[in-house]
Structure 1
Amino acid sequence: MEGEPTSALIRAQLRRLRLNAELSQEEFGKLVHYSGSQVSAVELGQRPLDRLFLARADEVLGTGGLLMSLLKLAERDGQPSWLRPWLDAERDARQLRCYHPTLIPGLLQTEHYARAVIRADDMLGDDEVEKRLAVRMDRQSVLARPDPPKFVAVVEEAVLRRADEGFRGILTQQIAHLIEWSERPHVSVHVIPVDSSGHVGLAGPFTLARGGDGGWVGHLESQLSGTTIDRDEEVAILLARWESVRSEALPQGQSARLMKEVVSSWS
């Protein structure tokens, strides 16, 4: 969902920049591969803001990425209020630790895997799926910035193997992506083997973020929402549970070999 005030600002900026470039809607439309009527609909708010359209508009108008930057702000404004504190913590983190018992952590999901996960909610229309996907992909930029946080992810082997024949192509690509990222100095991926006994992490996913001040906050997900945890005693519990979960996982080298074995078993 777009944040309405920011969305209106984007449309106004688009129109202003187009007029400053002395382009009619028809002329501008040809440059961005839209019809003049489609350009008009975007500017008037009768058509949703499209990422590809705005990226082309930035290029044609020489904005330095202004419109896409504003769109990212609009998407953040459109996030539910319960998620925004965590987005701030995630963006400012110096360390991130994530465990998920049933999925690949969002910051390491490929576009195809993420789309499949989001689309599993059959209450979402195609447009909403793509909006949520765009936000998830944008959040991953925290790991690609010049000063990225140290990110440690723990995943279950069962998650890597949960693939019927139709999903194996997506999961093969996803596992290759995990291996590639785990070779970067600031990212570690550890796998809990299927023969591990039950552990406290199976109660549910959680993520921890350590800010520049050295303090930790946590995030818990549920079917309907999520909660940012900042009370010292609750954060201490999550840190202790992290140590328990991490101790169940294989070292990074063994984890990478296991991931490769999973893919080769399908060949």
Structure 2
Amino acid sequence: MEGEPTAELIRAQLRRLRLNAELSQEEFGRLVHFSGSQVSAVELGQRPLDRFFLKRADEVLGTDGLLTSLLKLAERDGQPSWFRPWLDAERQAQQLRCYQPTLIPGLLQTENYARAVIRANGTLTEDEVAKRVSVRIDRQAVFLQPNPPEFVAVIEEAVLRRADEDFRGIMAEQIAYLLEYANRPNISVHLIPTEVSMHVGLTGPFTLARGVDGGWVGHLENHLGGVVIDRDDEVAILLSRWEGVRSEALPRRQSVERMKEVVTSWT
């Protein structure tokens, strides 16, 4: 991300705003709790852009969140090309439908859970993990819009129960987060109970988004990335699969009670 145009724009804006405020790098560094040499390294592209640093810079320079907003754009630009169309569809959706057989859906993940999932990819550095976690959590801003989308998630109960003693604290926090979201009027979380051993959704996760024009698009994930589904016949198949998995899931209230039971069983 650091060599891309948006990242360069952030550095240029940071330097311009600092100079307009008549602050040297040392003076500015003291205000944002960084050294002058660290400020210089950020402006020259020798140090990665840091969310905390830019947040403090926005506060000190009175930019109303400009730099952190640009960082979000830079992180989006750093996403694989196959994922960007889906991010656009997700942000503009009026309705979202998600089925996940193995994980908590990304839009409902806590930061700690997301970090554990992303860190499982042993090829990533800690910096890369941190960036991916930030992007994933930032996606949840779709629920903070004036007219947030209606979101229905179907999750396998087994996903909640996959928690050994070391992971149980993260999972307990995650389930509490699910319960909080499930209380929102525009969000429903449904569990497919463990006693349902076989159904049409087990071939893999998928998400559907309905845009302002009323049309649906889908997204399929795999180990090598993902693909946006927009052909009418393929979308129709996913909508049919959605009806299949939704019919196997518990009602909203029963799902909430089952989530509470899972946490209680650990204590």
- Indicate the TM-score class for this superposition, using the shorter chain for normalisation: over 0.9
Hey, which bits of structure 1, 4+ residues long, moved more than 3 A? none
Q: Does 1:231 align with 2:231?
A: yes
**Deviation sequence 1:163-200 (CA, Å, 0-9, x none):** 00000000000001001100000000000000013011
SS at match of 1:220: strand
SS at match of 1:198: coil
Map 1:133-172 onto structure 2 (within 5 A): 133-172=133-172
**Match for residue 22 of structure 2?**
22
1:105 partner letter: P
**Match for residue 7 of structure 1?**
7
CA distance in 1, matches of 2:240, 2:224: 26
Q: Residues 210 and 217 of structure 2 are in contact (CA less than 8 Å); yes or no, is this contact kept in structure 1?
A: yes
**Match for residue 95 of structure 2?**
95
**Match for residue 241 of structure 1?**
241
Alpha-carbon distance change, 113 to 172 in structure 1, aligned in 2, over 3 angstroms? same
Superposed displacement of residue 3, structure 1: 6.3
SS at match of 1:265: helix
Show structure 2 runs of 5+ residues with no match. Answer: none
1:137 partner letter: I
Show structure 1 runs of 5+ residues with no match. Answer: none
Q: Residues 3 and 78 of structure 1 are in contact (CA less than 8 Å); yes or no, is this contact kept in structure 2?
A: no
Q: Does 1:214 align with 2:236?
A: no
Q: Residues 2 and 77 of structure 1 are in contact (CA less than 8 Å); yes or no, is this contact kept in structure 2?
A: no
**Deviation sequence 1:187-214 (CA, Å, 0-9, x none):** 0000000001301111000000000000
Q: Residues 220 and 228 of structure 2 are in contact (CA less than 8 Å); yes or no, is this contact kept in structure 1?
A: yes
Q: Residues 92 and 211 of structure 2 are in contact (CA less than 8 Å); yes or no, is this contact kept in structure 1?
A: yes
**Match for residue 195 of structure 2?**
195
Q: Does 1:107 align with 2:104?
A: no
Superposed displacement of residue 121, structure 1: 0.5
Q: Residues 3 and 75 of structure 1 are in contact (CA less than 8 Å); yes or no, is this contact kept in structure 2?
A: no
Map 1:21-60 onto structure 2 (within 5 A): 21-60=21-60
1:263 partner letter: V
CA distance in 2, matches of 1:110, 1:37: 34
CA distance in 2, matches of 1:2, 1:200: 42
CA distance in 2, matches of 1:260, 1:54: 39
SS at match of 2:266: coil
Superposed displacement of residue 30, structure 1: 0.3
**Match for residue 257 of structure 1?**
257
**Match for residue 68 of structure 2?**
68
Q: Residues 108 and 140 of structure 1 are in contact (CA less than 8 Å); yes or no, is this contact kept in structure 2?
A: yes
SS at match of 1:80: coil
Superposed displacement of residue 2, structure 1: 4.6
Aligned residue pairs total 267
1:122 partner letter: G
1:55 partner letter: K
TM-score, with normalisation over the residues of structure 1?
0.99
1:113 partner letter: Y
**Deviation sequence 1:5-29 (CA, Å, 0-9, x none):** 0100000000000000000000000
TM-score, with normalisation over the residues of structure 2?
0.99
CA RMSD after TM alignment:
0.7
SS at match of 1:55: helix
1:71 partner letter: L
**Match for residue 79 of structure 1?**
79
1:42 partner letter: V
